Amino acid sequence: MRRLGRAATGLAATAVLSLTASACVTVHGELEVVPSATKDEAAKALSAFTEAYNKADKAYDPALDAAHVTGALGAINQAGLKARQVNFPDGNPNHVPLELTDAKFTIPKKAGWPRWFVADTDSNRDQDDTAADNRWVLVFVRAGADEGWKAAYLTIMLPRQIPAFKTDKDGYAEPVAPDSAALAVAPRNLSEEYASYMQDGKPDHFKPGPHTSAWREERKKTTNVPGLSTQYLDQPLDTGNFGPLGLMTRDGNAFVFFSVRNFERQTAAKGVQLKVVPDVKALLTGTVKDTITKERVSSQAVLVPPGNGAEPGQAVEVVGRLTPSSPARSSPRWRRSASRCPSSPGPPARVRTRRRSAVRHGAPPPPRSRTRAVRAVRT
């Protein structure tokens, strides 16, 4: 290796079988528990994703891999390509084809849609057999019988961080129910609780680490610096293509992927000019004066222990996080009581700007009447 659906709402009382184009049996009632994919299907999905990813990265054209990404990874990938397409209209001058090899597929058995599987791969973006050696862990999702496979989550992890998954006698994994009461935190609650933790430090059942306590401390250091005030807001993002997906591990934990939406508002003091990075500036249609609000979508991979979440040792460990360095899409009205986000990030990359004096961290936003929307994006 070199460097570097849903259930069919009861339309029929009995299950009707038919063959799909891939020769897999589909149960129209979606009552039967079946493998989400075959190993051959999984391999083809990974190959198709890699091929599309490379075409899009080489041309900096988001349309070239839009059909192969969704969810958090889709939001991050598409917004970044849109920005770079503006900055590099002739394509990527430093393109190096991505290679994903040594693929290990973990395929769950389940009823209904979406179907999904995990691909644990070795990329050519690391240094094998060194401390920098890592694995690209992708989650592929298929939303329905007429849909194709799309990559929804990507987490880059150390080999030792990847758990051994619980499998049956046929080698198929056990998916975790979103509302599982057997875990310290039900998967469907992870996005909301993690967003709350990042915002206020509560609930405190997340293990200290680079993606929890250290990230909060990093934010605190940038809250108020000479000439610049930064505010943060975190919101759950857990429906539709951004829903949590998890598998049981051999030791009784659950390995879960989920999404969160993060906002960052920077306000410069009078006479201080805000710095706007190229990937944000690329799609800007207005003039940034002294306030800019950026929005990001991040994805997390966590280990959730069994239990009720109230006993010692039942803390959630965030083992991986993929977060962009600049905005991903338009931000809703800034407010502490913001409603739950929509299931899709919608049009990528818009950044809101306002003209006003510096504000303290935690202060309310300026009135909407003084708000002006401008376009921007993230990488």
Q: What is the pLDDT of residues 27-52, one digit of tens each?
A: 444 678 999 999 999 999 999 999 99
Is pLDDT larger for residue 48 or for residue 324?
A: 48
Predicted confidence (pLDDT) at residue 239 exceeds the cutoff of 80:
yes
What share of the chain has pLDDT > 70, as a percent?
A: 77
Q: What is the pLDDT of residues 286-304, one digit of tens each?
A: 678 888 888 889 999 999 9
CB 212 within 8 A of CB 196: no
Average pLDDT score over residue span 244-254: 97
Distance of CA 251 to the CA centre of its chain: 25
pLDDT value of residue 62 = 97
Q: Is the pLDDT assigned to residue 143 strictly greater than 60?
A: yes
Q: How many CB atoms lie within 10 A of CB 43?
A: 14
> What is the Cα–Cα distance from 28 to 245, expressed in whole angstroms?
22
**Residue 365 above 60 pLDDT?**
no
Q: What is the mean pLDDT of the chain?
A: 81
Tell me, what's the pLDDT at 327?
61
Tens digits of per-residue pLDDT, 155-214? 999 999 999 999 999 999 999 999 999 999 999 999 999 999 999 999 989 999 999 999
Strands (E), the chain: 17-19, 25-27, 34-35, 100-106, 109-110, 115-123, 135-142, 150-157, 224-225, 228-237, 245-248, 254-268, 291-304, 317-322, 350-354, 371-375
Listed by start position, the domains of the chain span 1-175, 177-379
At residue 379, the pLDDT reads: 32
**Could you tell me the pLDDT band of residue 371, with boundaries at 50, 70 and 90?**
very low
The per-residue pLDDT for 326 is 52
In the chain, % of residues over pLDDT 90? 62
Mean pLDDT of 66-72: 98
Tell me if residue 159 falls in helix, strand or coil. Answer: helix
Tokens of 107: 């395929």
Q: pLDDT tens digits, residue range 84-112?
A: 999 999 999 999 999 999 999 999 999 99
Residue 233 or 13, more confident: 233
267-282 pLDDT per residue, tens: 999 989 888 888 888 8
332-363 tens-digit pLDDT: 234 443 434 333 333 333 344 333 333 333 33
- Give the neighbor-by-neighbor strand order of the sheet with 100-106: 100-106, 115-123, 135-142, 150-157
